[in-house]
Amino acid sequence: MATSIDSTLDELRSSMRNPLNRFSGGGGDGAGAFKKLAAALVVLVVLLFLVRPSLAYIEPGHVGIVIHRGGGGVDPTPLGPGFHLRNPLMTQIQEYPTFMQTLVLTKEATEGSPQNDEINVNSVEGQPLSLDVSMSFELRADKVPQLYQTFRTDVQTIAHGYIRQAIRQSLQEVVGNEEIAAILGPKKAEVVVRSQANLQKRLDPYGIDVRQFTLNEFRAPKAVMDAISLKNVMQQQALTAQNELQKNTFQAQGDSIKAVGRAKAIMAEAEAQARANDLLSRSITNTLVQYEMAKRWNGQMPQVTGGAMPMLQLPGSKQPE
């Protein structure tokens, strides 16, 4: 093909050098030269048309997969952002995004997709549970050719197909071993972490990195939700009663401790008073009493007396016989 193109270009150049000589001869020679010139011009236009799309541009945040038309294989190394030369007849380029994307799987038609994309799983009791899920992910650039060769479709189709099924299987493996009350309550965060780790193992061979995994809403049968609500109310009431009992117990213990303390204080006070009285009674003698009376006597005799003169016994004096 290259030889024919070169020969055509040579003829075109030769015709353009001597156009008058070509057309000044016989009518037959001029018509033939004109046809050759027109054919050369057509080939030139075709070549220009083919040269124009030989430059491929890859958008930022994307990589290009080079697909060989003849054998149907792909280059193992993707093209980075920017301009790249390619053979438009033998190759095709498919762009894949490598920036972070978010897949929303929900019951609502206004989010994610117009259809119901909720994830349905069963708890360990066999109770159905519907989940609204969102996952943010990125594609590793070096794995994109392998991803395309495996699925042969665009990222959105892969996300709503294989990735959605991988999410459902990962959640079922985790949720299927837990009670529904635990999933909706104390083990919710644990379920999310374990499910994300399980999902990453499934997507890792295809170069898909899970950046964030969220369980946005849980939906269970109304009877199950009512039973869980009743159980939570009863647990709350039992906890309140237990707290009240502990409060009363602590208060009774405090009152008992206070009563024991008061009793000990009274006993200690009584014992101290008894010892004081004992010491006081031992220290009071007749001599001490007379001495105290003498200190307080002002030397005056009583103005009114009986038939006998009151006698004051001073310390050291003798009683009259």
- pLDDT, tens digit, 9 for 90 and up, residues 149-189: 999 999 999 999 999 999 999 999 999 998 888 888 888 99
Supply angle C-alpha 10, 12, 14, rounded to 5: 70
Nearest by Cα to 163 from 115, 101, 111 = 101
User: CA-CA distances (angstroms) from residue 59 to 63, 81, 93, 152, 214?
Assistant: 8, 5, 12, 20, 30
- Is residue 21 scored above 60 in pLDDT? no
With cut-offs at 50, 70 and 90, classify the pLDDT of residue 308. low
Q: Is the pLDDT of residue 113 over 70?
A: no
Look up the pTM and report it: 0.58
Evaluate whether 84 touches 63 at the Cβ level (below 8 Å).
no
What local confidence, expressed as pLDDT, does residue 3 receive?
45
Q: What are the sequence ranges of the domains in the chain?
A: 2-53, 55-97, 101-220, 224-276
Q: Name the residue among 196, 195, 151 with its Cα closest to residue 173.
A: 195
Residue 98 is given by DSSP the state -
Q: What is the pLDDT of residue 227?
A: 65
Supply φ then ψ for residue 203, to 5 degrees: -95, -15
Distance CA 216, CA 133 (A): 6
More confident call, 305 vs 295: 295
- In words, the CATH class of domain 101-220 is alpha beta
